[in-house]
Amino acid sequence: MNALLRLFALPGYLFATGVGLVWGFLWSTGEVRFRGSLVVFTGMPHWTFGRGGSCVGACYLTAHNASDDVLEHKAVHQRQWRRYGMLFPVLYALAGRDPLHNRFEIEAGLDKGGYR
């Protein structure tokens, strides 16, 4: 079952990454860099992402919130995208907007995400 989920998730992860790359290259006015396999787009206008920054597939979109701790947190979200593909945004929404009770934020680390 785990292999089947991964097989199903991969196209969604790749699609989300493509969307993130297009969105990031379209709107980023800052540095674009790699942190491991995470593509970090800085200088994004605030309306182009949620909270302090958004992870879309393998892309992290933010204005300037790119500390080492935050990038470690976002790398966990990247792995969640890889695990669940396009189900991830649905599962994330069902987990709730309160990061202190959202299982995906808890797994990524509330402290490193700046929630505590």
CA angle centred on 61, ends 87 and 26, rounded to 5° = 105
Determine the Cα–Cα distance for residues 93 and 18; give it in Å rounded to an integer.
Answer: 21
Give the model's pLDDT for residue 1: 59
**Do the Cβ atoms of 52 and 114 come closer than 8 Å?**
yes
Domain boundaries, the chain: 2-108
pLDDT over 80 at 76, yes or no: yes
Query: 21-71 pLDDT, tens per residue?
Result: 999 999 999 999 999 999 999 999 999 999 999 999 999 999 999 999 999
Place of tokens 């490193």: 112
Q: Among 109, 66, 105, which Cα is nearest to 88's?
A: 105
Within 10 A of 27 (CB to CB), how many other CB atoms are there?
Answer: 15
What six digits make up the tokens of 28? 């980023």
pTM of the complete model: 0.94
